[in-house]
Structure 1
Amino acid sequence: MNKEVGCSQDLVKETKEKRGKKPLQMRKQRRRDTVDSEPKMSTMLEKCGGGWRWRRMTVMEDGSDPMGAALRVRDACTVGLEGSPNGQWWLDSIGNVLNGASFERVGSRQLAGLLIAVWARRNLKQYIGDIDSAAVPCGFGRAIGNKGAVGLRMRIYDRNICFVNCHFAAHMEAVDRRNEDFEHVFRTMTFNSLSSGLLAAAGSTSAVQLNRAANATNNRKPELSEADMVVFLGDFNYRLHDVSYEEAMELISRRRFDRLREKDQLRAEMKAGRVFQGLREAQIDFPPTYKFERNQAGLSGYDSSDKKRIPAWCDRILYRDSQSVSGAQCSLECPVVSSISMYKACIDVNDSDHKPVKSVFSVDIAHTNEITRRQEFGKIISSNKKVRSSFEELQVIPESAVSISNIILQNQDISIIRITNKSMTSTAGFEIMCEDLSTAIEDERVLKSRERGSTGFPNWLKVTPAIGIIYPEQTVEVSVQHVDPQSRQLYDRVSWNRWSEGTPEKIATLILQITGCYSTETKSYRVNVSHRSSSMAHTSKSTSWNGSQMWSESLI
């Protein structure tokens, strides 16, 4: 569904007559004054609903800032359906037709006159999830939504399926621009979580897409290329070349569509690999879908005006699935295999200059039944001793030892925790975290909690390294140190609260976890760390621990 944007000469003429005629010389002088003193005002008429309305945008044409002019156009002109019920009207109308047919709309997305919506049978909805939407403007400056694409991505039976509705550049000679529109859509379309069923405002959508397009110059893989199946549909605007109006009409009357297909721009561009790479289309056995006079039935409605636009298959449906070669069978290696059982135009529809095109797909999707998979996996483990033994070995935690369980820090002295891997064959991993952060007074009553630094330890405590691996029969030394304000700021970039001479004891509990390389199980050790100010140093001398003699107890 494409909103009509353009200028009506008759309406412009009528508007001028209403404003009143002015002498020719006065009009010419006013034009010169406007060009010399003011920015040029480009005026556009926009058909919205049942009537036309004016939209005016200011374009600076002094040549000083072309990019700025494009941005001003984008800001000044929102080509959308602001206040128009057209988009919602289509959703409601289709919903009413499907009402009672066990269908439910699962997603929709709109950009200006482009609208895409997907309905699914209710009994299939439980297998559909992760519904995301996207919009890419391709109009003036890649910012205006009169040309572009809207898309929906959803996960069906755990496979990503994308549907993209496109409207590309018009006119016979604009083949390269149409190819560029496709390339722009394919590379920059970025899907976001669907927050609402219908997004009618095009301004914010365009701005977001401009940012995405700017970031698309990196090596990020296009999201559409990662889908298991993609369906492109819409008004691609490719025409018939090297054929006259009379020749085309004569071939249509004889239903010699095979001769016309040889003149199809899209087929030629796809064959040359310049557009829609990797996609395919069902056989076209219906008349060209453009251009028709409104409200004229049948093939007699082709354009008979002075322009006599050559009929063309502007409206198409192309697709790609998981098949790398034709005829591949559906499997986990080729999870989505599709075929088309019907591809035709709705010639009887006569309220547009285009004829709608419809298609019926048959899609086979391979997916894994997780319940069955777990059951079979459990049977293999329980019945196969070799497999079970391998899993048991993977769960083994290497035997280890930690040299100390209590540390009392004074001043900036460094205490060492030695972690030993006693295994002769297995590598161990270790990680040190902080369980308790508190400041205690002399009677051991907790006074208040202290903030953690960015390392996860108290701001006054430095532990390095806090994570690592230990090879068989090797020992790793971990340093534990009380830090002063200046060194801590350099180490952690965290604000420091000064401690006075009368500051009470600082206490933290370190939890040291040991794990095997492939194990999800852990073995934990607890190491208590405290720091006393210099005024309390005499009480700590009689209770200090000898790190070389003390071994910690493990926590089971």
Structure 2
Amino acid sequence: MVNFVWSSSCLLFALWDSHTKELLKVFNIDGQEVEMGAGFLAMAAAKETVGLEGSANGHWWLDAIGNVLVEGTLFERIGSRQLAGLLIAVWARKTLRPFIGDVDAAAVPCGFGHAIGNKGAVALRMRIYDRKICFINCHFAAHLEALNRRNADFDRVFWTMTFSPSSNGHNTAAAGASSVHPHRGGNANNDRTPELSEADMVVFLGDLNYRLQGITYEEARYFIAQRHLELLTEKDQLRAEMKAGRVFQGFREGVIKFPPTYKFEKHLTGLSGYDSSEKKRIPAWCDRILYRDSCCDSRTECSLACPVVSSIYMYDSCMDVTGSDHKPVKCIFNVDIAHVDELTRRQEFGEIVFSNEKVRRLIDDFGNVPETTFSSNNITLEGNDITVLRITNKCRRDGAVFQFFCGSQSVVKESEQASEHSSRDPFGFPNWLEVTPRTGIIKPGKTVEVSMRHRNVDTVDEFTGRSHKTQQNNDSSDKVVVLKVRITGNYPTESKSYEIHVSRRSSNNQYVESRGGVSRWSPPDLI
């Protein structure tokens, strides 16, 4: 986390050396006061209202940092977001990039009227190995006496931050995430679950502006010179508020082993650079990095139940940077992420299925289709008489569900070829055929009867447009339809289909039929 008011070379080489370069897989850089001035802040607020963000200075910094990281060769930029003077950006090694996805960005202004971005936060959220990781860059209210306003700024950021896809992000991953909620502060004004609480790891960093309280300027300078930093941390507002549970609930911070990072006179080196003006602002650790992961106990091991476990490898400041009244702070995390190897999971699932008899029986039950028989697969209709088709469920354990569908059909008039055209009812059956019932359940070991009959239908004269009843004794057409019967079990995951051929011969054609209008029995066709 840095304050962008000095040359890029000083900043980047302070944060980036050969040792760091080899360690890092994900690089997050955050800055405040990238842009200054009331005019720019007003313009930035106006741009935000129409969905625009960023500035020439912001893009310049992104390009400069990308050049140091050898962007495109070693690292790729994952995403970035700017709100007025606040800027956040994340890069990742190209070897890690395939495992990063769902990159989203967010911004919450906390300045005047909650509309101006001189104070507030910008954030990036992404999935790394299917776990949600969030980085939030903050700039909270200034001045010693504004403690409650700083707490309120955190409250507003945590409870109202809403993410949307980053312009630099590529959505490629998906998975679940854990939830950790801080206590809701008095300034939160809705009942929805904050999106930040759903992340597996959250890192807050920036100019949080918490000061040292109950100590004088001279006392603070003395303790700093004597390196009695532990005595100064006892006066730290942020530590006291966290201990009381009023802010950053559930978050942790590394051990502070560096001097207070504010306020310095520009271009002065060493500890002699603290503010010596008339105001003599008391030194303070304004610039902080806090985090939480999936675990409540730092001794917890990484597992699927606790998928993100982090520890701090290094937490320090860059005291050699002199271009700002703040000193940049840097932190390196060791992060263990538990994730599921999908190939291994599929292989193990297959082994369970084939080795576990109970599971195999369940799968067999889901896919079981009861054996059924039909009284005939060829039915001839005669006149308007009803012909019965019997379907028997041979299974003694499971019920069978049957459903009729209409397949192909044809009408052949005397001395003419077959025609595929025939009017149908709304369910696809030919108008001349009545099938009752068309669907139903056959209990185990039982038989159902399905009635079929030919019926007269209205026909329309193509010249006059008048409808009239078809006279049965004058109908000289042969009609044939193939009915498909689908049989399923209790769970319609599997099915079997059969064909039943139904024909109606005209009175002018001779046809030898078996008794009852049903032709000699033969097994139905299984398709």
| Aligned residue-pair number | 417
- Which residue of structure 2 lines up, in the alignment, with residue 297 of structure 1? 269
Structure 1 residue 89 and structure 2 residue 60: aligned? yes
Give the TM-score normalised by the residue count of structure 2: 0.63
Contact between 2:34 and 2:86, CA under 8 Å: does it hold in 1? Answer: no
User: Structure 1 217/242 Cα, relative in aligned 2: closer, same or farther at 3 Å?
Assistant: closer
What is aligned with 1:221? Answer: 193
Q: Secondary structure in 2 aligned to 1:126?
A: helix
Aligned with residue 521 of structure 1, among 494, 498, 506: 494
Following superposition of structure 1 onto structure 2, how do residues 185-196 of structure 1 map, counting pairs within 5 Å? 185-196=157-168
1:255 is matched by which residue type in structure 2? R
CA distance change for structure 1 residues 181 and 56 in 2, over 3 Å: closer, same or farther?
Answer: closer
Q: Tell me whether 1:354 sits opposite 2:352 in the alignment.
A: no
- Aligned residue identity for 1:220: R
Query: 3-state SS of the aligned residue for 2:218?
Result: helix
Q: CA offsets per residue over residues 53-107 of structure 1, 9 Å max, x none?
A: 58889xxxxxxxxxxxxxxx96699899988421112111111111177222111
**Aligned twin of 1:170:** 142
Determine the structure 1 residue equivalent to 2:129: 157
1:378 maps to what in 2? 350
CA RMSD of aligned residues (A): 5.2
Check whether the contact 2:41–2:116 (CA below 8 A) recurs between aligned residues: no
Name which of structure 1's ranges 81-90 and 261-270 shifts more when overlaid on structure 2: 81-90
User: Residues 358 and 375 (structure 1 numbering): CA distance in 2 closer, same or farther, change over 3 Å?
Assistant: same
**Which segment drifts farther, 311-320 or 425-434?**
425-434
Tell me which amino acid in the other structure corresponds to 1:338. Answer: S
Q: Say whether 1:332 aligns with 2:304.
A: yes
What's the CA shift for 1:285?
0.9
Tell me which residue corresponds to 2:316: 344
Aligned to 1:491: none
Cα separation, 2, equivalents of 1:469 and 1:299: 88
Distance 1:275 1:435 in 2: 70
Q: How does 1:86-235 map to 2 (within 5 A)?
A: 86-99=57-70, 102-196=74-168, 219-235=191-207
Q: Aligned residue for 1:488? A: none
Shift in CA distance, 223/523, structure 1 to aligned 2, threshold 3 Å: farther
Q: Deviations over 1:491-549 (max 9, x none)?
A: xxxxxxxxx988xxxxxxx999886676643567999xxxxxxxxxxxxxxxxxxxxx9
What is residue 250 of structure 2 aligned with on the other side?
278
Contact map agreement 2:105 2:166 (CA 8 A) in 1: yes
Counterpart AA for 1:104: E
Deviation at 1:435, TM superposition (A): 12
* Offset, 1:230: 0.9
Q: Give how far 1:188 is off.
A: 1.5
Shift of 1:177: 1.2
CA distance in 2, matches of 1:250, 1:469: 90
- Counterpart residue type for residue 239 of structure 1: R
> Per the alignment, do residues 511 and 297 of structure 1 end up closer, same or farther by CA in structure 2, a change over 3 Å counting?
farther
1:394 Cα deviation after fit: 2.6
CA displacement, residues 176-211 of structure 1 (integer Å, 9 cap, x when unaligned): 1111111111111122122347xxxxxxxxxxxxxx
Amino acid in structure 1 at the alignment position of 2:113: G
Deviation at 1:149, TM superposition (A): 1.1
Note closer, same or farther for the CA distance 1:396–1:250 as it changes in structure 2 (3 Å cut): same
Which amino acid in structure 2 is aligned with residue 235 of structure 1? D
1:242 aligns to what?
A: 214
Conserved? CA contact 1:3–1:112, under 8 Å: no
Rounded to whole Å, the distance in 2 between the matches of 1:472 and 1:223 is 52
Report the Cα distance in structure 2 between the residues aligned to 1:432 and 1:241, rounded to whole angstroms.
83
Work out the CA distance in 2 between the residues paired with 1:76 and 1:105: 24
For 1:123, what is the secondary structure of its paired residue? coil
- The offset of 1:297, in angstroms, is 1.2
SS, match of residue 248 in structure 1: helix
Q: Give, in whole Å, the separation in 1 of the partners of 2:325 and 2:195.
A: 33
State how far apart, in whole Å, the 2-side matches of 1:310 and 1:113 are. 25
| Counterpart mapping for 1:398-417 below 5 A | none
Label 1:112 to 1:445 Cα distance change in 2 as closer, same or farther (>3 A): farther
Rate the CA distance shift 1:422–1:146 in 2: closer, same or farther, 3 A: farther
Letter aligned with residue 254 of structure 2: A
Which stretch of the first structure deviates more once superposed, 99-108 or 278-287?
99-108
Structure with greater helix percent: 1
Q: Say if 2:107 and 2:121, in contact at 8 Å, map to a contact too.
A: yes
Q: What one-letter code is carried by the residue in structure 2 that aligns with 1:284? A: I
From 271, 284, 288, the equivalent of 1:312 is 284
Deviation per CA, 1:267-316, whole angstroms, max 9, x where unpaired? 01101111111110011111111111111111111111111111111111
Task: State the Cα distance separating 1:330 from its structure 2 match.
Answer: 0.9
Structure 1 residue 264 corresponds to structure 2 residue 250: no
Q: How big is each residue's C-alpha offset from its partner over 1:339-361, in whole Å with a ceiling of 9 and x where there is no partner? A: 00110010111111111100111
2:377 corresponding residue in structure 1:
none
Q: Is the 8 A contact 1:321 1:338 kept in 2?
A: yes
Q: How many Å separate the matches in 1 of 2:199 and 2:397?
A: 44
Distance 1:80 1:155, change over 3 A: closer
What SS is found at the alignment partner of 1:295? coil
**Rg comparison, structure with higher value:** 2
- Alignment partner of 1:319: what SS? strand
Q: Report the CA distance shift for 1:555/1:88 in structure 2 as closer, same or farther (over 3 A).
A: farther
Q: TM-score, normalised by structure 1?
A: 0.60
Say which structure, 1 or 2, has more relative contact order (CA 8 Å, 6+ apart). 2
Mapped partners of 2:406, 2:209: distance in 1: 64
Higher deviation after alignment, 220-229 or 73-82: 73-82
- Write the distance in 2 (CA, Å) between the matches of 1:468 and 1:168: 69
Deviation string, structure 1 residues 429-476 (Cα, Å, up to 9, x no partner)? 99999999xxxxxx98889xxxx9xxx99xxxxxxxxx999999999x
Unaligned runs of 5+ in 2: 6-32, 170-187, 375-390, 409-417, 429-438, 448-464, 468-482, 501-517, 519-523
8 Å contact kept, 1:129–1:154: yes
Contact 1:79-1:112 at 8 Å conserved across structures: no
Structure 1: tracts of 5 or more residues without a match: 5-46, 58-72, 198-215, 403-418, 437-442, 458-466, 476-499, 503-509, 528-548
